[in-house]
Structure 1
Amino acid sequence: MKKRIFAPVAAAVALVAALVLSACGASPAASDQGSAGSSSADAGGEIATLTVGFDQAYPPYGYVGDDGEFTGLDLELAAEVAKRNDWELKLEPIDWDAKDTLLNSGAITCIWNGFTMEGREDDYTFSDPYMLNAQVVVVRADSGIESFEDLAGKTVITQVDSAAEEVLNGDMADLTTTFASLETIGDYNTAFMQLESGAVDAVACDLSIAQYQMAGKDTYKQLDEQLSTEHYAVGFKKGDTALAEKVTETLKEMDEDGFVKELCDKYADDGVSYDNWLIK
């Protein structure tokens, strides 16, 4: 089994994005909803600005909407949390493999973007888990692939430094050895383009990503077996316990007054279900 990174594709995508952003100015760019302030929490969890680091190609949790603005379930949750705590909100799209450096340097306050907490507990201080998730495999509907056994000799792709990559190289390593190759790429949108074109045979990804990509389409199908089950949480710099607890309490309040259910219903067509919400 070979492991290969789609570096040329990722580099091309990054170059195109950079050129587009340069040509278009600040749309979309880091969204600063208010004046600049400190992104670092003090011992009591007090901040002036909540700077959210997120992957802008991770629908339905964080992405660029049709209007060119950043949107998504997690970004709307973050915006409401900031509003209720009188924080300014700054949305900061990041390179996923740079997230730790940005968080530890104080460039971002948190990682809030369908962020799996399992296996990362020693590296971050997390809010309470707020959403149930799983790692799954998606194939083309006409591929003839029906089970994990059928992935033998196939090319599987996932996002670099993702929970799916971690489980395929960890608990499910025996399965991975049967693949022709396990490839990684910078974002899932491009991974699904590779699947649609036939460049790869399967995409390993979050359940929410699979549901979003399959919504209203008959092009793909999800295998019944799951690679793992897990939970989404907001990731903070190690030691930012008071701030993590404050965000958890605010999310609980948002659930109690119906905000969370209404938001989940808004994204229901994108595969989001309030049944998977955990903070009650």
Structure 2
Amino acid sequence: MKGIFRIYRLFAIVLVFTIAICGCGKEQENLSTQTSDSLPTIVVGCDNYPPFSYTDTDGKPTGLDTELATEAFRRMGYHAEFVTIDWENKKELLADGSIDCIWCCFSMDGRTDQYRWAGPYMLSRQVVAVNPDSDIYTLQQLENKIVAVQATTKPEELFLMPDDNEDITIPKVKSLFSMQNRELIYPMLSKGYMDAIAAHETSLLQYMNDYHVEYRILDEPLLTVGLGVAFSLEDNRGLDQELSATLEEMRKDGTSEEIIGKYLAHPSTYLEAEDYEVK
């Protein structure tokens, strides 16, 4: 009987320890989940714009802007949620609160009075691309040509209002096609429907690499711009200033260069925005 009693007693002790360990593990798991779930969410409006923002083969948001946003908001105590938006309606979506900010290779230049801005966090060149056998080599040779751009972008603005840009002379083109879907401008050029297209140099290089297409980018850029994160003018939370400080911290500690280097060669050249004066 004493032997049986010892066995039962030993079993009871093991059972108590097992329950205690499982309970602690479950409590720790719940605490971890609660900590993650309890973070306030920032809804980031973005577009399909490789290498800045796009979805990977598993359907998850990725890209250099996506990674920068995730890390920056994490440091600020937020969870970043990415929503693909209709780029033409970005301002309205920001104004009605559907999104908290716009973060997707967004040029600050010429828009400083339209949003509250964080940045610039990197620089980008707006350029013109043509087919390899094109006889267009300078911006002036675009006069009376047919050009395609994405709607509501800086290139569209530059070609629609060429006289408003004091830094560079942009000729008047014959026709300007503004496409809602940016990805349509590339096949339109390849098939010869357009004489030229204009976009961020980084996105053009990414498309050429992804689809093994050859374009010739003109040496003379349309404009060098500072990229920033846009918040509504009515947003008084101070997120723009806090994010600017966080992005500067990420630039100084090498985080931004490391992230950008995953997607672009010579990442340091894109980070020379410290002394850049937004126009």
The residue that corresponds to 2:225 in the other structure is: 230
Deviations 1:90-120 (A, max 9, x none): 1011001111111011111100001111111
Paired residue type of 1:275: T
Question: 1:155-170, aligned counterparts within 5 Å?
Answer: 155-170=146-161
Paired residue type of 1:253: E
1:214 counterpart = 2:205: no
Q: Are 1:141 and 1:218, in contact at CA under 8 Å, matched by a contact in 2? A: no
Unaligned runs of 5+ in 1: 1-33, 38-47
**Residues 110, 257 of structure 1: alpha-carbon distance in 2 compared, 3 angstrom cutoff:** same
Q: Are 2:162 and 2:171, in contact at CA under 8 Å, matched by a contact in 1? A: no
Paired residue type of 2:205: Q
For the pair shown, the structure with the greater C-alpha radius of gyration is 2
1:94 counterpart = 2:90: no
TM-score, length of structure 2 as denominator length: 0.76
Q: Are 1:172 and 1:227, in contact at CA under 8 Å, matched by a contact in 2? A: no
How many Å apart are 1:228 and its aligned residue?
Answer: 1.8
The residue that corresponds to 1:53 in the other structure is: 45
Question: 1:15-26, aligned counterparts within 5 Å?
Answer: none
The residue that corresponds to 2:254 in the other structure is: 258
**Which one has a larger percent helix, Structure 1 or Structure 2?**
2
For the residue of structure 2 that corresponds to 1:59, the secondary structure is: coil
Q: d(CA) in 2 for partners of 1:256 and 1:273?
A: 13
Q: d(CA) in 2 for partners of 1:187 and 1:35?
A: 34
1:135 counterpart = 2:135: no
Please list every run of at least 4 consecutive aligned residues from structure 1 whose deviation after the TM superposition is greater than 6 angstroms: none
Q: d(CA) in 1 for partners of 2:163 and 2:54?
A: 29
How many Å apart are 1:86 and its aligned residue?
Answer: 2.1
The residue that corresponds to 1:112 in the other structure is: 103
Q: d(CA) in 2 for partners of 1:244 and 1:262?
A: 23
Unaligned runs of 5+ in 2: 1-35
Deviations 1:36-77 (A, max 9, x none): 98xxxxxxxxxx211100112x11111122332221111111
Paired residue type of 1:191: I
For the residue of structure 2 that corresponds to 1:66, the secondary structure is: coil
Q: Percent identity?
A: 34
Q: d(CA) in 2 for partners of 1:220 and 1:212?
A: 12
Q: d(CA) in 2 for partners of 1:197 and 1:113?
A: 28
**Residues 189, 239 of structure 1: alpha-carbon distance in 2 compared, 3 angstrom cutoff:** same
How many Å apart are 1:158 and its aligned residue?
Answer: 0.2
